[in-house]
Structure 1
Amino acid sequence: MFTIVDFNNFWSPSGGGVRRYHLQKMAFYERQNEVRSVFVMPSASTYTETRSDGLIIEHVEAFRFPGNWEYRFMWKSKQIRPILEKYKPDVIEVGSPYILPSAVRRIAKKVVPNAALFSFWHADFPVTYVGRPIAKKFGTSVGVLSRRIAFWYAKQEFKNYDCVQASSKEAMARLKKNGLPDPRWIPLGCDIETFSPSRRDEALVNELKDGDPNRLTIFFPHRHCNEKGIDLVLGAYDILTQKLGHEPAIIFAGTGPSLPLVQEAAAKYKHVNYIGFVNSIDEMARYYASVDMGLALSGWETFGLSILESMASGNALVGAAAGAAFEHVSESGAGTILKERTPEALADAIVELYHSDLTDKKIKARKYAEKFSWNDCFKRQLALYKEIAEKKGIGYKPR
């Protein structure tokens, strides 16, 4: 049986886009009979969970990072080698770029030397976590040098890999420019049946509007950190209230290092609410469909699953001026681009969008999101797996 093994230290039970990617991928392969997917999940203990002939989850005990994160990190041979020896995969995918790719490569060379090695560029880390933050603190030239070093590090980690998958055209272009192996575009998907304007809950709408039908309502279910723009949103609230002439309702969901600041704002402002981590997809869809607009403020998303889910729910968006947010908002015509990363600029962008033809932008958002589906994503990806595996002499053999 053609077998795929996935390793990813970016998995988190309370994560966002990466978690959704793996959940949808598992759902796809759980229905398969001729192909098997094994997801290696960093966990609190080690055990095997067999979902079907097409899907197995190997829970591997791994170190958990302290704090408000739920990420675990695996890198040891004893965490990797038993999986490769057990399944002898045709394809191995590594979804995180730190240490794990080279560890998997070394062990795979000994256990399954002919396996095709893939990565998925879930985080554009040389830009997101290295180049831009360092440039902001130490200047542009130091930031540019740091980004080059980070891409050099990525090339070392993914040395001898067969393919790097990217879900953003902008990110794929950077991968090509910086010499990463055979970048391919794999756009991700969106569950357009679950995330739909039909999930609008009028009782929730009325609760959030709180007696004022003109009150602006926003849902922010992103990781609570500055990368996602949490500092901009919190900093813009008083400015926004003044410009709108009323207190907007902002619903925060999720977690992250800035969670205490969100909780502080919820205690201070009547119409700022923190609802915790929403584990139910149906509940997420209900909130998305019951607000006026969404915010996509990270300029470093490689696809932005939450962006598509918000758009599929019929939300106009304020989008960052770079990355997947810029791609989605610009190509759809369903929102406004943030001109500067300041609270003042965000307040201006929200007010501009609020006073535009929101109905038209909501329709455009839904129409754009309908172009993407998870089934198409994983069919396209599976074809890529087979293409490169066959080039390496690994034939696809049905049972």
Structure 2
Amino acid sequence: MRIVDVCAFYAPRGGGVRTYVDRKLAAGAAYGHEIVVVAPGEEYRTEVRGEGARIEWIPAPRMPFDRTYRYFPDQESIHAALDRLKPDFVEASSPWRAAEAVASWRGSAPRALFMHADPLAAYAYRWFGPVASREAIDKGFDWFWRHLRRLDARYDLVVSPSRSLADRLAEGGLRQVVTNPLGIASGEFSPAHRDEGLRAELLRRCGLGSDATLLIGLGRHAPEKRWPMVVDACMAAGVERPVGLVLIGGGRDKAKVMRHVGGNPHVLLLAPVTDRPALARLLASGDALIHGCEAETFCLVAAEARASGLPVIAPDLGGAADHARDSGGEVYRAADASSAAQAVVRLIDRGVARLGAEARARAGGTRKLDAHFAELFASYEAIANGARVAA
């Protein structure tokens, strides 16, 4: 099949969506499929990624609030691309304008909405959560739920990458939802990359000895990631137990994060690590991953940490919570620094060495992207074959 992914949030310097789509481009040929990604870019351009894999860039303006990303200017440009590409199956990777364009395209190919984003959790729940319950916020944003239900009625499939998001979508009235968790690339992350010398050096740079607990935070510096809250939690836990925090990442909130850390000697800020082997070594050398975002649909970072042999400390909502529970880690009340601090202390008191050994023993069972793609492409094939039979 020719599978066309209309991917609004694919960008050369993007985050988890870019990583995932790059993997899908590389994987399609092994399953006998051609993968074409339609993405907003600087100009019309075709970027060949390998046999049966390419990106078709469409000129698009930059987003005003995050210059890393662009947005499709209109539905007509997406319709024109789909008419030209003649897909056997279409996927939309954002529930906004691109999803509306794919839904309204007059072509006969079946289509799926892949929920890479959870806008309510990333924005509405975060903005209004301090003053209103989720039930009240959902009522206030009923227009968005109506929008999702309309999309659901026009798509053959809505793919959720986590159990928690699938449950919320079903509760919101969507009927086409299936859960297909993502996974990690085989062979990249492993406890075998653990380096006790690197661990000791990172703790030394945090002003601590090797008897302290080394927590790793990894991700974009963006408001929904809640790094200031994570810093506060680790410092509160550090009053009771020696804790060092290494934050790896960058982004539009970098200056805010730096100001919040201030001169704290127990927090080490590192620039984004693009060298995958170096990142795998860093992750495996920590004692646990700590995450602050309750809006993750899957949380690839947490999956990579599990594959590296780390327990995960995460909010009790969103995709990261699944990883925390499955890794033998800890969950805490979302957006609550005090609760997060208590989770850090609980994990330390349970025995970091023992939990690490158990997490390393389980690491090989972390779901791989191969399993995700096998399920995804099989579901697309079944729908496309059914559509051909019906025709």
Q: Do both share a fold (TM > 0.5)?
A: yes
Aligned-residue CA RMSD (Å): 2.4
- 8 A contact 1:225–1:231 mirrored in 2: no
Counterpart of 1:255 (choices 244, 250, 255) is 250
Return the offset for 1:5.
Answer: 0.4
Q: Report the residue type matching 2:161 in the other structure.
A: S
Return the offset for 1:91.
Answer: 0.6
Counterpart of 1:154 (choices 141, 148, 155) is 148
Aligned length: 386
Which residue pairs with 2:10 in the alignment? Answer: 11
Q: Which piece of structure 1 moves more, 204-213 or 362-371? A: 362-371
| Cα distance in 2 for residues equivalent to 1:140 and 1:49 | 42
Q: Report the residue type matching 1:378 in the other structure.
A: F
| Cα distance in 2 for residues equivalent to 1:372 and 1:141 | 32
Return the offset for 1:43.
Answer: 2.0
> How far does the alpha carbon of each residue in 1:264-294 deviate from its partner, in whole angstroms, 9 at most, with x for none?
2455123422222222222221210111110
Gaps of 5+ in 1: none
- Listed as ranges, the matches of 1:1-399 within 5 Å are 2-31=1-30, 34-66=32-64, 69-77=67-75, 79-106=77-104, 108-109=105-106, 112=107, 114-131=108-125, 133-137=127-131, 142-210=136-204, 212-244=209-241, 246=242, 248-265=243-260, 268-332=263-327, 334-339=328-333, 341-366=335-360, 367=362, 370-393=365-388
Q: 1:224 to 1:369 in 2, by over 3 A?
A: farther
| Cα distance in 1 for residues equivalent to 2:125 and 2:195 | 42
- 8 A contact 2:112–2:159 mirrored in 1: yes
Identity, % of aligned pairs? Answer: 27
Q: 1:69 to 1:199 in 2, by over 3 A?
A: farther
- 8 A contact 2:230–2:291 mirrored in 1: no
Return the offset for 1:311.
Answer: 0.9
Q: Report the residue type matching 2:100 in the other structure.
A: S
> How far does the alpha carbon of each residue in 1:181-220 deviate from its partner, in whole angstroms, 9 at most, with x for none?
4111111111352111111234422221216111222221
| Cα distance in 2 for residues equivalent to 1:9 and 1:345 | 35
Q: Which piece of structure 1 moves more, 85-94 or 51-60? A: 51-60
| Cα distance in 2 for residues equivalent to 1:285 and 1:41 | 29
- 8 A contact 2:213–2:287 mirrored in 1: yes
Q: TM-score, normalised by structure 1?
A: 0.88
Q: Report the residue type matching 2:5 in the other structure.
A: D
- 8 A contact 1:131–1:147 mirrored in 2: no
Partner SS for 1:283 = helix
Q: Report the residue type matching 2:176 in the other structure.
A: D
Q: Report the residue type matching 1:350 in the other structure.
A: V
Q: TM-score, normalised by structure 2?
A: 0.90
Q: Report the residue type matching 2:217 in the other structure.
A: F
Q: Report the residue type matching 1:309 in the other structure.
A: E
